Structure 1
Amino acid sequence: MLGLIVAAGIPALAKASGHDHGAPSAATKAAATQAAQPQSDGEIKKVDKEVGKITIKHGRLANLDMAPMTMVFKVKDPTMLEQVKVGDKVKFTAEKLSGALTVTALQSATIAGQSKVAETMPAVDTKAVAQLQSDGEIKKVDKEAGKITVKHGPLANLDMPAMTMVFKVKDAVMLEQVKTGDKVKFTAEKINGAFTITALQASM
């Protein structure tokens, strides 16, 4: 009888000890959360290598529910500070780590071949890249559907005349950066059969 009681208690003890192999681990959940963090656009205002911090003028940080502003961030990896300089346009991911707002991913977003990627590919025709851009005016932003309506000039790369049409966006973050009436420069491509905006910025 004593043996039966002990045997019956083993599953309960295993569950209480956290040996539930069907549940996702904390590390798996953390990795999934980090992968879901969106990128934001910004401009470098100051790089302080001595204290490991960077000042960025940025747009809305959707994952942190923060409005556009200029603020100081810590960096997760000090080597990030070697990759950028004051005035650089960047795309970055910011998270709150141990109570501090921290940049966890950072890359140059400068157009016309000046990004880090373009620097490693000197054969890129920067004039051709610039020609892919078109001028337009935002007519509607549909965040729920992930689409944007743009009144645009001719799209040379798609051989399309000037018109007003609805596009998908490659990155939903783009919909947070513009509003109805904004003048923009954008790049549109046909991806999986759908006309999709792959780059978008306010027109100066």
Structure 2
Amino acid sequence: MKTISKILIGMIVAAGIPALATAAGHNHATAAAATKGADTKAVQPQSNGEIKKVDKEAGKITIKHGRLANLGMAPMTMVFQVKDPALLEQVKAGDKVKFAAEKINGALTVTALQGTTILAAKTTTAQASVAETMPAADTKAVAQPQSDGEIKKVDKEAGKITVKHGPLVNLDMPAMTMVFKVKDPAMLEQVKAGDKVKFTVEKINGAFTITALQAAT
């Protein structure tokens, strides 16, 4: 009788092992599927861009950007929606940024702006920190080279001046005639159309700006 009982117990245990193995395999497969599902949303690559326009009312931003690999889009300038309107408070036209864009509900949407860190702002902050730790005599950056030019138009109301100029070495620009902003409106009181001048121009907040202007000698 004991022998029969041992045989029956052995049969029951043997029959249960495949079931346990099947259940374990099923649980493993389910866990693997869940893990796979969690990994399907990969981090989107970031692209370089330059802000051209910020439209806070519409919740949109215009960016001149490089290739958007995840969307298969070539470099161009286009308008994006933003996933978080707060992103628009951190940028302005002319800022250089890194951003991520996705297609959400059929609309191309900016989901991140360099982790919302603007490259230009970082550079400015770093420069300011260095300036604070330097002696007063050293806070002025290396003097920019001067270029020769001829005044073509003075627009005092707009705070702009049109100059026919030679090569701008510090900006890697060839000779041409173009409109500049001026850092100090008082400069416009010192010149008139036809004057030959020497001037210094820098890119400030995305705009070509004359920082020094004097009559040519």
Identify the TM-score tier after normalising by the shorter chain. 0.3 to 0.5
Structure 2 length-normalised TM: 0.44
Structure 1 length-normalised TM: 0.46
**Which structure has the larger Rg over C-alpha atoms?**
2
